[in-house]
Structure 1
Amino acid sequence: MAESAVGFLLEHLTSLIEEKVKLLKDVDKDVKSITDELKSIQAFLRDADTQSETNDTVKDWVAQVRNVAYDIEDVLDEFMLRFAQRGQQQRQHCLHRFISYLQKTICFLETFKIRHSLATQIKEIKDRVHDISTRRDRYKLRSLEQASAGSNSTGVKWHDIREDALLLDEAELVGIGKPKEEIIGWIVEDESRLGVISVVGMGGLGKTTLVKKVYDDQRVKRHFQTQAWVTFSESPEIHELLIEMIKQLVYAEQKQPIPQDVAEMKDVQLKQRLQEFLKKKRYVVVLDDIWTIPAWDSVKNVFPNNNFGSRIIISTRSNDVASSCIKSYFRVYNLKPLSQEESWTLFCKKTFSFSPEQICPPELEVPSQSIVKKCGGLPLAIVTVGGVLSTKQKTTTEWEMFNHSLGTDLFDDDRLKGMMKILTLSYNDLPYHLKFCFLSLFMFPEDELIEKMRLIRIWMAEGFIRRKEGKTLEEVGESYFHELINRSLLQIAKTDDDDGRVEACRVHDLIREIILSKARDQNFGAIIKQDVMLENEKIRRLSFHHFCEMVPQQEKSTTHLRSLFTFNVNTLSNTFTGGEIFSKLKLLKVLDLRDAPLSEFLEEFTNLFHLRYLSLRNTDIKEIPDSIKKLQNLETLDLKQTYVTELPTGILNLDKLRHLLVYRKELDFSSHLPQYSGFKAPSGIGGLVSLQKLDYIEANTGSELIRGLERLVQLRRLGIVKLRREDGIHLCSSINKMRHLESLGVHVIEEEEILDLESLSTPPPLLRRIMLKGRLEKLPRWIPSLHNLFCICLWGTKLKDDPLEALEGLSNLMTLYLIEAYRGEQLHFQSEF
């Protein structure tokens, strides 16, 4: 982890020296000296990080390296903040034409004071770094070259084809057939009594995966009238679980959202509602990952014994829980570790997935068999180790070194501890830039659905993503995301319905425990669940779960914060709503208050000079002040599902903005597709030339705004609402210049308005998704030329001619939505369409 901190800092320092050499006047030599010294230290850090697991002296040295790296980052960020503040003050003086000789003198003295303070701190840090470096030899640490253990950090390249192959194999499991068939037999057998089937086993054995395979089997689906799946986790929120059951059982069948009055019911009322609904149904309900008997007791009376042969399926790590779930009819399936043969098959499938035969080369069989044996038949451990090995060179030396690193006595202790060690090895093997990305997952609650783009934008804001020639930061971030999946450190949780791309992930319980442990030990981040003291005064990231209060003693711990998150918080304390806490977070880069009970945009937000990511999604915010222009480093502004309908002209100052998401999405029940309402933008919005995503902008404020969009040549996604017919030609002219555009959504201002997009002469060649809502006189002639299209939605187009003839040549088209799209009575499908 110290390697990660130093590696990250070195990139930051190099960039800073190149960009701010004038500001670093008088200290640039010292900064370069520190950089050179840290580079020499970095070569030894991987070995030191490994030794620190068992050597307290080395552990202390590693901590000192990490802390000095953090301190340098703090000093430089504070320096940049103070200079930015001086610049703002000077500009204000100029604007008011009130600069006197005395004011100039004060500015000079304050600038000198800032530089002197920086020089003093840099000198102190330089001495610390030198002292750390001289003590390196005492611990006989080896350089990266000397200690080479086959690490990937030297730069293994990842290819999309390989990633796709692994993603396709994700659902494949070894040894699942027999337990699946046995459990299905119990479920559908001719037994009318309510039955409880418990699947028991330690973490990592694949209980949830097995139950999901059973749950999704067509024999099970046909046998029951209704079904639901809820996940309990270690600290379940019973009210939320009851709501989720009602959502899946009652309202999914009716294809309606849950009414607000139902969501506000007390638990006893929700239970009564569920009981009443299930009385006349043959149902199957999965209660996944129950940890305690009280958790089972809290819901067991919801399920009526109606003698229809209903079933409850439970997965748990606890035999006590399984024993307590006794009804008149019950079964317990004790999930066992894989046999050696099954383990070997799974290992080969994961490790050698890129070869058609998926067979271990003969020269690697001896070390591979040893590695598999140490995994103890635990699928999660086998898949994780296989994911690591799949990225390494297929040589005997490489395999033997990896096998040796597992340790001869690793499985002398209980299996869980052994598996944790193996899983930690996969973390240790990550390149330093991926370690920070991986640890950032600490912020999310257990079993949270983690959106890919949310994660990537946070990584960007934190500076975790390294620039790569020819690729955007978002593209590099996506490769990081898939690399973590390929290493089996993330689990695929959601894919796009149209093209199968991964949209979200989850973190396995055991992997999450490793993340939390590392994050605490390395001062990387902490979770606040209740009114407790922070153990470290220099914590870098905080995530509030269910609770959002900062006691006075904790406030001094927040001055070093880079990121702050809230999850499932019902109330915000006065220190938050009053803005007091944000006046202390001068170095904050990420502020994610998604779903927080916040009704106004706090003025204190605009003083967060370093802020790059601001999410107020799904809050009650209604207005954004013009002072947002002060957030000149902002890259992501997420206002989705808020009540913001207009942005001030100050937004035009944010020239680093890449993702501007301002819209509400409501489900149209007739089509089951989303409808969007957007925002009014100032006419100069086209000046934000760094924008990658712009959703959804109202086009009825004037042709000048639409014409100005032609400058947004970096756009990947564009959403337009309220387009007038006469502005169609201007929109086409702008889109002609957007050569990187992948997704386009255009909605007309009124239902009968003509959508005129015929003048689009050179459509973006990378377009993959199009949604057109409005009357079309004819299908635009350029659509059939877009051979990368995989999804088209024509809504309310009321075409005279059958559109299928023009679309049948789109070989990559996977999804076609036609809603009031054609006025004819028949659509003609060709056999090869």
Structure 2
Amino acid sequence: MRAFLRVADAREESDPQLKEWVRQVREIAYDTEDVLERYMLRFASHDTSGFRGYYKKVCASLKNLKARHQIASEIKAIRSRLENAYKRQQTFRDIYPIMNQGSTSSPAWYDGRGDALLLEEVDGVGIENPKERLLAWLSSIDYGLKVISVVGMSGLGKTTLVKKVFDDTSVEMNFDHDAWIAVSESFKVENLLQDIIKRLLKDVKQPPPQGLEAMKADDMREFIYNLLQNKNYIIVLDDIWTQNVWEAIRYAFPRRATHGRGYIIITTRFNNIGHTACSESNGHVYKLEPLSEEKSRELLYRKAFPRNSCPPYLEEISERILNICEGLPLAIVVIGSLLVTKNKKIEEWEMFYRSVGSELEGDHLKRISKLLSLSFYDLPYHLKACFLYLRIFPEDELVNKATLIRLWIAEGFVEAKQGKTMEEIAEGYMNELLNRSLIQVAETFSDGRPRSFHIHDLVREYIISKAREQNIASVATLYGFSNPTQQVYKGKNLRSLLFFGPGNSEWGPILYEVMSGGCRMLKVLELRGAPIDAIPDEVFKLYHLNHYERIQGFTASYEMGRLLCLQKLCYINLADAGGDRIKIVREIGKLTQPRRLGITKLRREDGKELYSSLAKLTNLRSLNIVSFEEESIDLEYPLSPSTFPFLQTLELQGRLERIPQWIGSLNALIRLNLIGSRLQEDPLQYIQGLPNLLLLKLYRGSYERQELSFKAGGFQRLHTLSLARLKGLRWVRAEKGSMPLLHNVVMWHCESMREMPVGIEHLENLKYVDFTDMAEEFVERLIDEKRKGDQWRLAHVPQVVVYNRVNGKWKTRQL
């Protein structure tokens, strides 16, 4: 069934009858999964007694016979439904060629560029500055080939912008040849090359060469090359969907010339296509952004009130509608043109605002919906479920990348690949959605990696509509409603329960009831900010649970070792565990799949048992340990270098006698945070050889001596160094050859330091330096050195910022 759905998926949108049949097969597949997982839940062993125990449990227990018979009956009923669906395939014989050929063709092409080109002059609001930028690039006197890429999501006006540039008088006057080529999604290289030749020759009133249709692709490339050699030309390739387009025609254009200037302008929603095409010619990428609030308002008012201004009583509802559009010009134009028919009746405007989702499904906003459908159906099959899963997040909430990746994995959307972790594969999925401009980066880490992203409101409405249609992410998602009497789905097949809070405290009893009820099929439990103090013991008996996330510390059950599929567990609070504390630490070692583990209020005497448990967790990617108040963390037990082969993040918060030596063998470690460690011995000597360390943080008295010295050859990949609240630290030295890739230095409230780190001038790749709340003498010396000009050791750093308090208020200085 899954194989059939994967293949039929590419055709269902263009065939309503096939679409209905696919819907039926999809429902049967979901029901089959339910039956199989209930079987696993009913008969799988929760102990470690091996196959013999499993065999006895299934075959020797008389009480299981009834359950086995019931499941067998359910499977028989599913087979009958599937046979009936199979008989219906006689109506859809055309599915067989699809399955045999493995076709992944998209539904009938909808040329959304036509919408953009039909925008009138009055609609070109907000493109003045982008147009000037592109014209400035086109005025370059460099000979040879330059590629300019205009990149952005559907509906931003990429085509409109480039058409304004293409039609500008200065462009017409300065180029011998010009051609505008609309690239179809299912292009053929021969047809594309023929189109280019015809357009170029038509522009100079020459007929196409005889036998053009019969020419080979190589011959056509050579013809274009000779035609454009030493000529001034501009060619627009509008709406490129695949890298293959550029690969197929790139060598048709002269790259070096003694006289001619050639420009290729590409519009695409794919970031990688835009950057790749520009890289070879040292060209330019222009990332088109949404309109500002002011320009969005101007455009809406022009369309909705063509001869008048906006009446005061419609201003508030206008702002709400603009919030939906989020600066997307095509959306504003289409919606404005629709609102002009509402005759300025506020009740009709309100009705439209409430029904935007259904309007996307109807005829009114069909153009926007079609553009989004093109992007959706162009996605690989495995990405479609991941994309539609985004419906679970509340409106206007930034989506945390790490959380979403873990949810995708727990839901089973990520396909395993040899040589890659599931997290790496899932991160590739997210990068592809970003590349296709279906989601936008909202926040980044200090090293530039995406931290969270944003979903455009209209994209979200489309996702909700399509997910409802395909029954994707039908989960009980609790958004922290103020009225806890609303019904919460408590069905026996509930798979995911997510609470995005903050919610009314009265939700607590309802959550307890749901979690301790009959939700035995639960795979995903997200209780971020949930108003509860403890987790019911029943949760730790959920055999299928893959993802369990709760930011606040909680008291774990000593039976949590049953959660064999659990991938994230944080933060376990050992302070209130009493006599069960050691049992809980031992239970941690029974978990086989955890990727992230967080433990708080660890006592010194727990160290040995913790060491024994940690040694079994070979899949860990992230480990956070926090000690109980001022107690030391005892982690001096030897661990094999192969114990944590995948550990990428390690945070130790609490006093350490010395830095555990096994940290130096964590070859996969990317981030290391030491907080309150009170180390007397220089920790750098043990960690400077870590081959993949990108981020090092030493916070709140983690080091108590006066000097930190970064030796030559150490920290070869370090990207960010943060030192904060190290009261005793007076000198930092960076020998030449240390930290060659360091981009960011952040020093905060190191009150004993009086001067900049010695050797900071050797860190040639520094991009950002931040000195916050440092001693006044430190700041004065810094400013004095800047005044001297040629002795300024940070002259090579693009951004140097100083934050300090003046009269109780933070003051910022850019040096």
Which TM class, normalised by the smaller chain length? 0.5 to 0.7
Q: Which of 73, 80, 86 lines up with 1:120 in the alignment? A: 73
CA distance in structure 1 between the aligned counterparts of 2:596 and 2:182, rounded to whole angstroms: 36
Question: Which consecutive unaligned segments of at least 5 residues does structure 1 have?
Answer: 1-5, 8-38, 95-102, 153-173, 183-202, 207-334, 353-359, 374-381, 395-410, 526-538, 665-678
Cα offset, 1:507, TM superposition:
0.4
Per-residue displacement from partner, 1:377-410 (whole Å, max 9, x unpaired)? xxxxx9997339959x99xxxxxxxxxxxxxxxx
SS in 2 for 1:135: helix
Give CA deviations for 1:767-813 in whole Å, capped at 9, x if unaligned.
11112331247546668422211111234284565413357652343
TM-score by length of 2: 0.58
**Alignment pair present for 1:626 and 2:558:** yes
**Partner amino acid for 2:73?**
T
Judge conservation of contact 2:180–2:236 (CA < 8 Å) in 1: no
The residue number in structure 2 matching 1:718 is 650
Superposed, which structure 2 residues align to 1:605-754 within 5 Å?
Answer: 605-618=539-552, 622-639=554-571, 648-662=585-599, 682-684=610-612, 685-698=614-627, 700-703=632-635, 707=639, 711-725=643-657, 727-728=658-659, 731-732=660-661, 734-750=662-678, 753-754=679-680
CA–CA separation in structure 2 for the residues paired with 1:349 and 1:448? 39
Find out whether 1:542 has 2:477 as its counterpart: yes
Is residue 2:20 matched to residue 1:70?
no
1:386 maps onto 2:269 in alignment: yes
Aligned to 1:586: 520
> What secondary structure is seen at the aligned counterpart in 1 of 2:650?
strand
Which residue of 2 is the match for residue 137 of structure 1?
90
Asked if structure 1 preserves the Cα contact closer than 8 Å seen for 2:11 and 2:105, the reply is no
Output the CA distance in 1 between the equivalents of 2:91 and 2:719: 61
Following the alignment from structure 1 to structure 2, what is the Cα–Cα distance between the partners of residues 640 and 572?
A: 24
Three-state SS of the structure 1 residue aligned to 2:589 is helix
User: 1:178 pairs with 110, 128, 133, which one?
Assistant: 128
Which residue number in structure 1 is paired with residue 716 of structure 2?
787
Cα gap change, 1:49 to 1:109, in 2 (>3 Å): farther
- Check 1:775–1:602 CA distance in 2 against 1; reply closer, same or farther (3 A cut): same
Contact 2:21 / 2:85 at 8 angstroms: preserved in 1? yes
Q: Closer, same or farther in 2 for the Cα pair 1:389/1:624, shift >3 Å?
A: closer
| Cα displacement (A) at 1:635 | 0.3
| Contact 1:606–1:628, Cα closer than 8 Å, also in 2 | yes
Per the alignment, residue 569 of structure 1 pairs with 503
Matched AA of 2:269: G
Assess if the C-alpha contact under 8 Å between 1:387 and 1:488 holds in 2. Answer: yes
Q: CA deviation at 1:587?
A: 1.2
Residues 341-490 of structure 1 aligned to structure 2 (within 5 Å):
341-342=163-164, 363=195, 386-387=269-270, 390=273, 416-490=365-439
Q: Equivalents in 2 of 1:797, 1:452: separation in Å?
A: 35
Q: Which amino acid aligns with 2:410?
A: A
The residue aligned with 1:210 is: none
Number of residue pairs aligned between Structure 1 and Structure 2: 547
Secondary structure of the corresponding residue to residue 43 of structure 1: helix
Mapped partners of 2:397, 2:529: distance in 1: 14
The higher-RCO structure (CA 8 Å, 6+ apart) is 1
Q: Report SS of the residue matched to 1:427.
A: helix
Match of 1:48 in 2: 12
Which amino acid in the other structure matches residue 461 of structure 1? A
Summarize deviations over 1:512-560 as a string: whole Å, max 9, x none: 00111122222223xxxxxxxxxxxxx44534452575767x6464534
Secondary structure of 2:686's aligned partner: coil
TM-aligned CA deviation for residue 79 of structure 1: 1.1
CA distance in structure 2 between the partners assigned to 1:459 and 1:435 by the alignment: 12
CA–CA distance in 2 between the matches of 1:631 and 1:81? 12
Instruction: Tell whether the 8 Å contact from 1:610 to 1:631 is kept in structure 2 after alignment.
Output: yes
Distance 1:782 1:578, change over 3 A: same
Note closer, same or farther for the CA distance 1:788–1:558 as it changes in structure 2 (3 Å cut). same
Report the secondary structure of 1:760's partner residue.
helix
Q: Map Cα deviations across residues 489-509 of structure 1 (whole Å, 9 max, x no partner).
A: 10111112x222111101001
2:61: which partner in 1?
A: 108
How far the C-alpha of 1:452 sits from its partner, in A, is 0.6
The DSSP-based 3-state class of the residue aligned with 1:718 is: strand
Residues 567 and 761 of structure 1: CA distance in aligned 2, closer, same or farther (over 3 Å):
closer
Alpha carbons 1:549, 1:573 under 8 Å: kept: yes
Deviations 1:433-465 (A, max 9, x none): 111111111111111111110110111111111
For 1:506 and 1:365, the matched residues in 2 are separated by 42
Query: Does structure 2 conserve the Cα–Cα contact (< 8 Å) formed by 1:624 and 1:648?
Result: no
> Is the 1:175–1:342 contact (alpha carbons within 8 Å) kept by the matching residues of 2?
no
Counterpart Cα distance in 2 of 1:560 and 1:626: 25
Inter-partner Cα distance in structure 1 for 2:741 and 2:641: 31
Q: Secondary structure at the match of 2:593?
A: coil
CA separation of 1:74/1:758 partners in 2, compared to 1, >3 Å: closer, same or farther?
same
Structure 2 portions without partners, runs of 5+: 108-123, 133-152, 168-178, 185-191, 200-234, 241-264, 278-336, 339-361, 762-792, 798-815
User: Sequence identity of aligned pairs in percent?
Assistant: 26
Higher mean displacement: 755-764 or 765-774: 755-764
Report what 2:784 is aligned to.
Answer: none
- What letter corresponds to residue 120 of structure 1 in structure 2? S
Q: State the distance in 1 between where 2:71 and 2:504 align.
A: 42
SS at match of 1:542: strand
> Do 2:611 and 2:635's aligned partners in 1 also have CA atoms closer than 8 Å?
no
1:631 Cα offset (Å) = 1.6
- 2:413 is paired with a residue whose SS is coil
* Aligned-CA RMSD value: 4.9
1:302 maps to none
Matches within 5 A, 1:129-208: 129-142=82-95, 143=98, 148=103, 150=105, 176=126, 178=128
Q: Could you say if the C-alpha distance between residues 827 and 550 of structure 1 is closer, same or farther in structure 2, counting changes exceeding 3 Å? A: same
Instruction: Find 1:83's aligned residue among 7, 22, 43.
Output: 43
Q: Residues of 2 paired with 1:516 and 1:383: CA distance?
A: 32
- Are residues 819 and 636 of structure 1, via their aligned partners in 2, closer, same or farther at CA, if it must alter by over 3 Å? same
Structure-1-length-normalised TM-score:
0.56
Partners in 2 of 1:556 and 1:571 — Cα distance? 20
Asked if structure 2 preserves the Cα contact closer than 8 Å seen for 1:564 and 1:590, the reply is: yes
Instruction: Assess if the C-alpha contact under 8 Å between 1:48 and 1:62 holds in 2.
Output: yes
Q: How far did residue 662 of structure 1 move?
A: 4.6
In structure 2, the CA distance between the partners of 1:638 and 1:518, relative to structure 1 (3 Å rule), is farther
Pair 1:510-2:458 in alignment: yes
Distance 1:415 1:386 in 2: 24
Which deviates more, 810-819 or 637-646?
637-646
* Structure 1 residues 362 and 661: alpha-carbon distance in aligned structure 2, compared to 1, 3 A threshold: farther
CA distance in 1, matches of 2:166, 2:19: 36
- Contact preservation (8 Å) 1:609, 1:631: yes
Instruction: Look up the SS of the partner of 1:695 in the other structure.
Output: strand
1:710 and 1:735 in contact (8 A); partners too: no
1:521 maps to 469
